[in-house]
Amino acid sequence: MNGYGIFFWKDGRVFKGNYKEDKKNEFGIYLKPEGKKYEGYWKNGSQSSLGRYRKKDGTVKLGIWNDNNIIEQYTPNTEFYNMKNVEIDGNIKETNIKIDEIINQMRAIFIIYLPNTDLDDFIKLEDK
């Protein structure tokens, strides 16, 4: 797959964002069922460059990632930290808009070609 998409794993994980040659690439949001979330950049399927990792308890790591590991963590509540959070928030908004467009296109396809199938039910079935 190339371009924006959303992928659901059977274990509850979800990725929404950009793909290149079937690998997570550029900006994306990765959610785990236990409440952990990575919002940031990817390269060849790995967390790479600016990213924000959130745990369910609210703990946040913001910094530079390489090969799924944080290599430089930014100090909270500094102007630079806040600026990078704003950058990530903007990318999240843009990604969500693009994913919503894809879902709406899928809804239109379902209405035309699968009129008796609800997209939300389809996604839930595929997620089991």
CATH code at position 41? 2.20.110
- Token readout for 9 is 């794993």
Beta strands across the sheet bearing 37-43 = 3-8, 14-20, 23-31, 37-43, 46-54, 60-66, 69-73
Q: Is the pLDDT of residue 123 over 80?
A: no
Q: What is the pTM of this model?
A: 0.82
- Is 51 a residue whose pLDDT tops 50? yes
Q: 29: domain range?
A: 3-126
Tell me which of 79-88, 100-109, 111-120 is least confident: 111-120
Per-residue pLDDT tens over the stretch 58-104 = 999 999 999 999 999 999 989 999 999 999 999 999 999 999 898 88
Give the contacts of 115 (CB within 8 A, at least 6 positions apart). Answer: none
pLDDT band of residue 124 (cuts 50, 70, 90) is low
Total domains present in the chain: 1
